[in-house]
A and B are shown apart, each in its own frame.
Chain A
Amino acid sequence: MSQHIKLKKGYNIKLQGAAENRIATCEQSATFSVKPDSFHGIQRPKLLVKEGDKVKAGTPILFDKKHNSIMFAAPVSGEVANIVRGEKRKLLEVVIRADKDVEFADFSKHSISEINNLSREDAAKQMLESGVWPNIVQRPFGVLANPDEHPKSIFISAFDSHPLAPNYDFLFKGEDKYFQAGIEVLKKFTAGQIHLNIDAEGEVSQMFAHAKNVQLNKISGAHPAGNVGVQIHHIDPINKGDVVWTINPFGVIQIGKLFLEGVYDTSRLVAVAGPEVQKPAYYKTYTGANIENFVANNLKSDHVRFIAGNVLTGSRVDGNGHLGFFDNLVTVIEEGDKEEVFGWVLPQFNKPSFHRALGLMAFMNPSKEFRVNSNMNGEARSFVQTGVFEKVTPMDILPTYLVKAILAEDYDDMESLGIYEVIEEDLALCEFVDVSKHDIQEIIREGLDMIQNS
């Protein structure tokens, strides 16, 4: 029973420097890393390697004491070069110096029919050992999926509506076979549907349009239409006690490759985009790549901020930092650490804004692409403006009240106002449009942690 969900609320932030649909070449990154912070729900990571160890792609690097069956594996083969720790010896990342040619750890290979006959337990075992399991994110809370859980449905968003997001059609060209195999494997984990949600407005690749054993839903509307949380809310909402798994197409393909080819293959395309990138394009690399080579000689200015991911949900990395497990985008914007004389009263033609308060001219030119910077554009204040969060949240959720319930640590209210249905990314636009400059995403995560640990 396919559905067509038409979303009226939301907002697309248009930025300069979208990646062209071509693969640029550069020297392969020298190092790759595994960052526990890519995932929520890791509490006590335990290392399985030490500096100097040789690893193959698929060799377990670490696991979490709390979920000790889930292995986090090396994305490439090579030598463990550096184990980076932060304050209180918190493990930040494990850096691997890559071999010239990737050597894969061996996992068992299956034909399509063998996959169909595989039991859930065997499939889970192979996924857990090989490093593909962390692709599955469990709702509520957006944490690592618990392998013993029986989710009521699995959701795959087949498009990314974030600013400058890579084009999925281009990203996954020719991977149809693996995608379908991945679906067959995932099918074993839920008695319900696998929902594959496609963009009703864009072109949809054959891989998604012809996928079998899924419920194909169409979603139309502005960002956050591509967010899987919004899609779940409209198609099969999460109530208290429900569990839903989400996974992105790359994860599905990785699972397919694991079973068809017997390898943990992290090779992927990464978009390098943003207003400060000279030639925005895609680069062929592996998960957790060092971004240094992508941006070398490819920048318009030198005072920039590198973002692993997109401008709404990504995180800042150094010029030689590494991408996270889920990142398929490097965004480069100008660093906004300079003062602006009378910036609050002068007309602003060159800054994106959802608002139309006097002097904000962005709404006059809805198709304009902006060159943004990282300035806060104002100071933090108490909540004053109302009704704006609701306009960028295409869900029957009252974001202001939810945020206030979290700030007040009111567990009952958090629950009844729908905290199970959101994770940070779903309310990222609220953080962007907020006149009072609150850290909405951070607050939401605090709330999720509170509920989870209560």
Chain B
Amino acid sequence: MKFVKNTFDKLRPQVEKGGKFERLYGVFEAFETLFFVPAHTTKNKGVQIRDAVDMKRLMNTVIIAMLPCLFFGIWNVGHQHFLAIGQDAELLDKLIFGAIKVLPIVVVSYAVGLGTEFVFSAVRRHPVSEGFLVTGMLIPLVLPPTIPLWQVAMATVFAVVIGKEAFGGSGMNILNVALTARAFLYFAYPSAISGEVWTVVPQNETEIVQGYSGATPLAIAAESSSAASNARNTEAEMLQKKADDPSESNTILYNEAVENAKALNTKSLVLDNMNSHWGSKLYQFNSMFFGFMPGSIGETSTLMCLIGAFILIVTGVGSWKIIFSVFAGAYGMGLLFNGVGANEFMLLPAQYHLVIGGLAFGAVFMATDPVTAAQTEAGKWIYGLLIGALTVIIRVMNPAYPEGIMLAILLMNVFAPLIDFYVVKANKNRRLRRATV
């Protein structure tokens, strides 16, 4: 420690005001404060003692809460891979395989992101914020394991520069930085982040087990739903055709269409399709809750997200109101759709919405970002409920975007200040009413 201290002391004159590298003070401070809580004392006036908490500890708590998701994700990447190639593998093999795929993504995200932060710290002369320590971990966890590393780097730079620094740095940003990265990839390089990218499979298809499909539950649900509605459309079309021209061939076609539609016309079509997915029991509720399914690296396991949620709630770092209300909003919307039942996806039992896709991960780690979430206590309820409800709406009503949580959170990030505006206005009005009575 003495050596570290001496090194910092030696460097300090260079980066302090008037020094050769004074622009790098923020970077210097970032590294120094990583080792030492500085000797700063409180001012002569004002509070004379300060709470033991600081931003680093707060962010560190979030990172710790994400570790279960990361470790499970690493294992699951290996697990899915070996399932797909039909090999039995030991725990260690799966972990090693997963680590080889996942850790480079994490390293790239951190290295590129922190590098960008350092550049901005030097140019804008603001301290390097701890916020990226969390963002840098969130970005890999919401990406598929097959993502090319250069795309990770691009997305990270985009998110930090446009999502955060353009607004003035940490604490000033409107959109969740990690989701900005994901949204960037989603719209700029859709082929790398949609379709069958969720499992690492060999290039050579002969090595893959027969019947393999990389589709996620969300994709299956969307596909089943549109298949059923297509079948119904065809049936109606054929009926029309038969009426116009009651030839034999048309009758046969019509009967086929009726058969087809009938086959798909079951209330539990989505569930049936999930259950008959190639991997045995891959998409049963329990399996999905535990997270044994393909998906983004960190978001498959609802259980791991709940462990993270437990850490965030017990430590008071994440808002339990937001976490709870996102789940409640999604479940409520799921039930409502069950009642409407206009298509097969709507009929998916509501609890399934909570375990498929990234809902749990988004609710626990993304929606709770205090900077971009609603900041008033009443606002947090509204914000969370709307995220949950919107997620399910986007999933069910718009098959073009199978994962709704990303867009729902980004959308509500934009609306959070509006929610707060009305909550604050209510506070002002209470004061005003009191004065006029």
Contact = CB atoms under 8 A, between A and B. Distances in A.
B57 interface: yes
Contacts of B45: 315-316, 441-442
A351 B54 CA distance: 12
Given A316-B48, A379-B127, 12 more contacts: A311-B48, A316-B44, A344-B60, A352-B49, A356-B315, A356-B316, A382-B171, A416-B428, A416-B432, A417-B428, A428-B46, A431-B47
Interface stretch (A23-31, A128-136, A145-153, A367-375): A367-375
A339 B38 contact: yes
B20 interface: no
Q: Which 5 A-B pairs have the closest CB atoms?
A: A378-B54, A382-B171, A343-B37, A239-B435, A351-B52
A406 to B, nearest CB: 15
B57 A357 contact: yes
Contacts of A352: 49, 51-52
A379 B377 contact: no
11 contacts: A314-B48, A351-B51, A352-B51, A355-B58, A355-B315, A356-B314, A356-B316, A358-B57, A377-B52, A398-B427, A432-B49
A382 B129 contact: yes
B427 A362 contact: no
Interface stretch (A90-98, A167-175, A328-336): A328-336
Residue among B58, B64, B371 with most chain A CB within 10 A? B58
Contacts of A359: 57, 60
Interface stretch (B28-36, B90-98, B255-263): B28-36
A400 interface: yes
B431 A418 contact: yes
B316 A355 contact: yes
Contacts of B199: none
Interface in A396-454: 396-398, 400-401, 416-418, 424, 428, 431-437, 439-442
B58 A382 contact: no
A440 B61 CA distance: 25
Given A377-B37, A386-B375, A434-B51, A357 B317 contact: yes
B169 A439 contact: no
Nearest to A424: B46
B53 A377 contact: yes
A348 interface: yes
B47 A312 contact: yes
Contacts of A240: 435
B89 to A, nearest CB: 34
A340 B36 contact: yes
B49 A382 contact: no
B169 to A, nearest CB: 7
A155 interface: no
Interface of B: 1, 5, 29, 33, 35-58, 60-61, 64, 127, 129-131, 169-172, 311, 314-317, 319, 370-371, 373, 375-377, 380, 424, 427-428, 430-432, 434-435
B51 A433 contact: yes
A13 B35 contact: no
B58 A357 contact: yes
Given A239-B435, A360-B52, A378-B56, A442 B46 contact: yes
A258 B170 CA distance: 57
A341 interface: yes
A439 B56 contact: no
Contact of A375 (B41, B129, B169, B380): B41
A353 interface: yes
Contact of A305 (B48, B60, B169): B48
Contact of A374 (B49, B375, B432): B49
B108 to A, nearest CB: 24
A198 B129 CA distance: 45
A376 B64 CA distance: 24
A335 B57 contact: no
A341 B35 contact: yes
A336 B49 CA distance: 9
B55 A378 contact: yes
A447 B405 CA distance: 41
B52 A348 contact: yes
Contacts of B434: 237, 239
A189 to B, nearest CB: 23
A435 B55 contact: yes
A360 B377 CA distance: 24
Nearest to A373: B49
Contact of B58 (A237, A340, A343, A435): A435
A354 interface: yes
A239 to B, nearest CB: 4
Contacts of B37: 339-340, 343-344, 375, 377-378
A159 to B, nearest CB: 21
B54 A379 contact: yes
Contacts of B47: 311-313, 428, 431-432, 441
A336 B431 contact: no
A378 B44 contact: no
A358 B67 CA distance: 14
Contacts of B127: 379-381
Contacts of B42: 336, 374-376
A152 to B, nearest CB: 12
A384 interface: yes
Interface string A191-221: 0000000000000000000000000000000
A343 B57 CA distance: 9
Residue among B29, B48, B373, B427 with most chain A CB within 10 A? B48
Contacts of A372: 49
A232 to B, nearest CB: 13
Contacts of B35: 341-342
A436 to B, nearest CB: 7
A101 to B, nearest CB: 35
B58 A396 contact: no
A387 interface: yes
A381 B129 contact: yes
Interface string A302-313: 000101000111
A379 B33 contact: yes
Contacts of A354: 51, 53
A432 B380 CA distance: 24
Contacts of B375: 386-387, 400
A1 interface: no
A381 B170 CA distance: 9
Contacts of B316: 355-357
Given A341-B1, A375-B39, A390 B377 contact: yes
A210 to B, nearest CB: 33
B54 A435 contact: yes
Nearest to B432: A416
A381 B209 CA distance: 53
Given A312-B47, A385-B370, A417-B427, A376 B53 contact: no
Contacts of A442: 43, 45-46
